[in-house]
Amino acid sequence: MRVMGVDPGLTRCGIGVIDAERIHRPALVAVDVIETPSVSAVDTRLGGLADAFDRWLDAHRPDVVSIERVFARHNVSTIIGTAQASGLTMGLAARRGIPVAMHTPSEVKAAVTGSGRAGKAQVTNMVTRILRLDAPVKPADAADALALAICHLWRGAGAAGSTPGMTKDVDTRQGGGRQGSSLTPAQQQWAEALKSAGAPRRR
């Protein structure tokens, strides 16, 4: 099971990939932050983000993409940029037939730390521990992307035929007309492994 996490943002878009060949022992594959210059036109920035995201999809070929659900903030300009980046990455994944899952910040925090109100430092610390890294992941955008990937691994793909994070958030894909309640072959294998091992859906 390979999950790509995306912490959407127009100026800074965190992106991380994890593999989970062993139950509840995900491993880091790659992580980075895609940046676009704020002085450039929005269309140019979105084009640059699209090119970079496409390269990540080509290089890592995830089974699912986990993206933070956009929610209202006081800073309207920030939420607009976040929504643009979120929609862009969703569309690029969908174009390739890759399932997309949406998770709220509180869901991610709860899955990774056990508390939906955890701070960024707590999230970074737990991501570092879960992935058994020698040093904390920086910046926070990168750590958040990995947390999103871990969240989906533990919450969204915990049982065959039941993907809480995907049920309402995945559009119909190319060819098969499948919705979020269906699993890809890789997700099905992962879910069956969890079931056989008697592993819980959530940490």
Cβ count within 10 A of residue 144: 28
End-to-end CA distance of the chain: 17
Task: Output the six-digit token pair for 94.
Answer: 């969908």
Measured distance CA(7)–CA(68) in Å, rounded: 6
Helical segments of the chain, H only: 42-60, 76-95, 105-113, 120-130, 140-151, 185-197
Measured distance CA(184)–CA(182) in Å, rounded: 7
Measured distance CA(106)–CA(49) in Å, rounded: 26
| Residues forming the active site | 7, 68, 141
